[in-house]
Amino acid sequence: MSTHRRTRFNSLITVLAGEEEVQFVLHRQILCEKSEFFATAWKQYQEEGGEKRVFVPYIKPDAFELYVHWVYSDKVDLSLVPLASPRGENYRFDDRGSRIQNFQHLIELYVAGDEFENVTLQNMVIDELAAMADAWDDHDLRIQPDHIEYVWEETSPGDRLRTLILDNIAATQDPGSLICFKFKTAQAGHDFW
Q: What is the mean pLDDT of the chain?
A: 79
- Numbers of helices and strands, H then E, in the chain: 8, 3
The model's pLDDT over 12-64, given as tens digits with 9 standing for 90+, comes to 899 999 999 999 999 999 999 999 999 998 888 877 776 788 999 999 999 99
Q: Please give the pLDDT value at position 185.
A: 44
Q: How far apart are CA 96 and CA 99, in angstroms?
A: 5
The model's pLDDT over 130-143, given as tens digits with 9 standing for 90+, comes to 887 777 665 555 67
| Alpha-helical runs (H) found in 136-159 | 145-154
Domain ranges in the chain are 61-188
**Listed residue (89, 85, 76, 91) closest to 135, CA to CA:** 91
Q: How far apart are CA 130 and CA 140, in angstroms?
A: 15
